Structure 1
Amino acid sequence: MPAVSFQSISKSFSTPRGPFQALQDVSLDIEEGEFFGLLGPNGAGKTTLISILAGLARATSGRVSVLGHDVQTQFAAARRLLGVVPQELVFDPFFNVRETLRIQSGYFGVKNNDVWIDELLENLGLADKATANMRQLSGGMKRRVLVAQALVHKPPIIVLDEPTAGVDVELRQTLWQFVARLNKQGHTVLLTTHYLEEAEALCTRLAMLKRGRVVALARTSELLQAASTNVLRFKTDDTLPADLAALARVTGRVAQLPAQDAQEIEQLLARLRAAGVRVEDVEIRKADLEDVFLNVMAAEQEEHA
């Protein structure tokens, strides 16, 4: 039995311009104990899919189950099995951190939970903030509390919707160490993130969404193996020739060009020299998940052009 099963999920919204199809026939299963990544550009439908899983939105058609429990007809049972960390910072300004976690425990009928709450506070770097009012916390600390709230009832399935968006490096490292440990203990993790290096390092399997459809679904290692290209990376202050610029990923002074083999790399460098482009700090690396993601999205764009 899969931990989470999405079966032909579609979702449409009414807008002043007419119906908007947010999800189109999305089907995928997440197995127990998996660390699963859900990737896609803004507006791809990731948060809508998670909202349907959490019972916050109703699918137009299709069915979602959590360890066999339908999220609509068996909502209470399905919800107890989930710990969801939302994108938005939502908090009650009238309680301190420990009170917030005790109240969250009460929502799920968990009594005498202070030992686990103490462990959460310690592992998420919140021990010294236990008696601080939620209003006094920074944005990063509030996000740590959201994670603790999602885990306070020890759910077998943890859903993280961009949990490290806008937070510092320390929190990212602390969070991933803790979540990776929970995953090794048997917890299933569903992660959405725009930090593709995180997804590459953590997720055993990935689904990519675009325009509400699944455009890729495979093990992370298989996606990386399929991208057999190398990448020529360099810095320059000059403008690339138009044909190369169309292929390049440029971030500030850093440009990256795909290349199949050493011969193509030599050809690219020769074309840059011939165009008068001065390059510095030249590197050659294997394609990473960001390269794979951009290629999948570009191919999907061409298919619908």
Structure 2
Amino acid sequence: MSRNMIDNKEIKWINEIDALKKMWEIRIFEEMIQELFDTGELYGTMHLCTGQEATAVGGAGILKQSDWIVSTHRNHGHCIAKGTDIRSMFAEMLGKKTGTNEGKGGSMHIADLDVGNLGSNGIVGAGFPIAAGAALSAQMQGTDQVVLCYAGDGATNEGSFHEALNLASIWQLPVIYFIENNQYGMSSSIEQMVNIDKLSERGKSYGIEGITIDGNDLEAVTRTVHNAVEKARKGDGPTLIEALTYRHKGHSKSDKLIYRSEDECREWQENNDPIFRLEKELIQKGMLQEIDIRQLEIAIRKDLADIISSVKLDSEPTVDDLWTHVYAEDEV
């Protein structure tokens, strides 16, 4: 991927070093919230996207701020790549009033309208119709906004997937449905759940272009999403993208990973890790040296550790705060 991979001033991640930094921020962020959970400082559940950083940065990371994303329960990477403040995300997970949802939503419900993050959703497949609705809004108002809707492979078997794709197709909505096929829906392999070779083939049934890509190849993700975004902006309708990737961790914090082999996990982690693949490319191109990368990683770890220390001092919601955000505050 060249430094000027895409000649478009609206795309932020045209610099691979910036992309690598953002991918490391996502991974270290998740390592730290895992530590917080292990030490009893973080409650509730969480779903880590470790191993899927390229789909976040190559997708949400190249959108304009005015564009929208809709995310899933495995949302941290999408939110960070779209520009949601990391400090506010830490605060949300630690139940602080300074969180993105003032400490009321936790890991699965992060939202940040200021940067076009319409919110994450813990209901599998719920994002498909929400994205269609947002895209319809953009179309009706005549803006050039597009919606990037993330979902997992398991969500493509939900009725909401088929209903939303049909609607997006007949109305030619400016939406990209981005399927992160990480090989498993909770504990069931994708081969057990569908009888087709590529999930992208399902787009044909609705007259939608379907594309399957290597989701751990940052360039492939960036270029494919860019093309789909430009297509949607011109009014040429939706695209269905299937990105093949792999989650290193379990489905959620309590998953013991007894349904897949150690050899399989090792193969993906050692030979197909999106961060290490990008690092190798940058070193081969002479853009970075190994010591530069490790210093970058150390700096990010320090910055995020400092943020956590600061967040722990923030105030928590009060009992009275339970009554806020329940009803519209202004008169209708």
Do these two structures clear the TM 0.5 threshold for a shared fold by scoring above it? no
**Largest Rg, 1 or 2:** 1
Greater helix content: 2
Query: Larger % of strand: which?
Result: 1
TM-score, with length taken from structure 1 = 0.31
